[in-house]
Amino acid sequence: MNRIVPAHPTAIARAASVVRAGGLVAFPTETVYGLGANALDPEAVRRIFAAKERPDWDPLIVHVSGLEMARRLTTQELPVELTARFWPGPLTLVARKAACVPEEVTARRATVALRMPRHPVAQALLAAAQLPVAAPSANRFGRPSPTRAEHVAADLGDRVDLILDAGPTELGIESTVLDLTQSPPVILRPGGVTREELGGLRVAGGVADEVAAKGLAGPGMSLKHYAPRAAVEVFEDEPALQARAEQLRGHRIGILRPTAGNLYAELRRLDAEGADVILCVLPAGNGIGLAVRDRLQRAAGVHSS
Ligand code: AMP
Ligand code: MG
């Protein structure tokens, strides 16, 4: 059965009912497609883990319709410098969790990850559901994140009740995760809001830091993540890639020219074309390039440097 429906107002209203009834809905955000369920319903949240085959130690991001909803989910003050500038948008804030947040959502952590998406369909769904919506990326665990409704259907099929289709996502790469429980705050995952945008900001007495430099990473940021079936090899420049391509003569090689927007769709396409090895020159580590580098290095199973 085809569960993909265009994200028209009637479909969004239906999706909100599904969420309120404890079901699973895939929906577009400005980053990637999310697999959403009522964040306050442990049973519904467990369905997300089952559908994705996601290990239970990997916490989910909770999506909120507004600041008021976010404030009910944390005991911590959310810095206005951040929320005013980046919400709604691709910035996830990790803060101490309130008692109402089930431990299934946070993987038994004392913290909760909060985000207010700016995609109009995500916003309409959250407004209609009137509930916080736990939503990781709507892919099978370990697969490239979905940037189109078809990717969700390919990975999850009938494990999801409804897929709201609003075409390819704007950014194509996940949100930046910023840990507010550390001072100064630490970037656990580079993403849609760049380090440069965050870096100049004084937050809770400090300046947002970079994860890669410290070798820190958030939970679920394992190596060999975001990966296609093919082996991925990454290079710092074109001559290094070409030298490797020479060595691999006779193999089915796919060459990836990555941008934030095409990264995941290209990994899926090269997989579908049957590439044995995907070769890729890493983008420079500034701006959104830092997030693209991070995901490619994880797909290749090498530590970020
Ligand atoms: P996904 O939505 O699939 O991109 O996954 C959500 C990611 O957000 C997790 O894999 C973690 O890296 C991060 N995250 C979610 N909750 C927390 C938390 N409480 N503390 C730290 N990181 C978190
Ligand atoms: Mg994910």
Tens-place pLDDT, residues 165-220: 999 999 999 999 999 999 889 999 999 999 999 986 655 444 455 444 444 567 77
Is 178 found in the same domain as 117?
Answer: yes
Claim to verify: residue 37 and residue 174 sit in the same structural domain: yes
CA distance 255 to 279: 5
Does 111 sit in the ligand 1 pocket, CB within 6 Å?
Answer: yes
pLDDT single digits (tens) 22-74: 999 999 999 999 999 999 999 999 999 999 999 999 999 999 999 999 999 99
Q: What is the CATH number of the domain that holds 102?
A: 3.90.870.10
Same-domain status, 194 and 254: no
Residue 160 one-letter amino acid: V
* Strands of the chain, DSSP E: 4-6, 25-28, 33-38, 61-63, 91-96, 111-115, 133-134, 162-165, 176-179, 186-189, 202-203, 206-207, 231-235, 253-256, 277-281
**Separation between Cα atoms, residue 201 and residue 197, nearest integer Å:** 8
Residue 180 lies in a domain: yes
What's the pLDDT tens digit per position in 60-113?
Answer: 999 999 999 999 999 999 999 999 999 999 999 999 999 999 999 999 999 999
Instruction: Count structural domains, the chain.
Output: 2
Ligand 1 close to Cβ of residue 29 (< 6 A): no
Task: Examine residue 219 and state whether it is found in any structural domain, yes or no.
Answer: no
Q: Do 245 and 142 share a domain, yes or no?
A: no
Say what the pLDDT of residue 219 is: 76
β partners of residue 111: 96
Q: Is the domain of 195 the same as that of 252?
A: no
Q: What is the pLDDT of residue 61?
A: 98
Is 215 within the bounds of a domain? no
User: Same domain for 76 and 166?
Assistant: yes
Q: Is residue 220 part of a domain?
A: no
- DSSP annotation string for 151-172: HHHHHHGGGSSEEEE-SS-SS-
Amino acid at site 18: V
Residue with tokens 């020219």: 257
Identify the band that residue 142 occupies on the pLDDT scale cut at 50, 70 and 90. Answer: confident
Q: Are residues 10 and 148 in the same domain?
A: yes
pTM: 0.94
pLDDT averaged over the chain? 92
CA 227–ligand 2 middle distance (angstroms): 11
Return the ligand 1 atom nearest residue 175 CA. 4
CB atoms within 10 A of CB 81: 12
Statement to judge: residues 191 and 236 lie in one domain = no
Question: Which atom, in ligand 1's list, is nearest to the CA of 218?
Answer: 12
Please indicate whether residue 209, judged by its CB atom, sits closer than 6 Å to ligand 1: no
Domain region containing 11 = 4-199
Is residue 185 in contact with ligand 1, taking CB distance under 6 Å?
no
Q: Assess whether the C-beta atom of 35 lies below 6 angstroms from ligand 1.
A: no
Is 224 inside a domain boundary? no
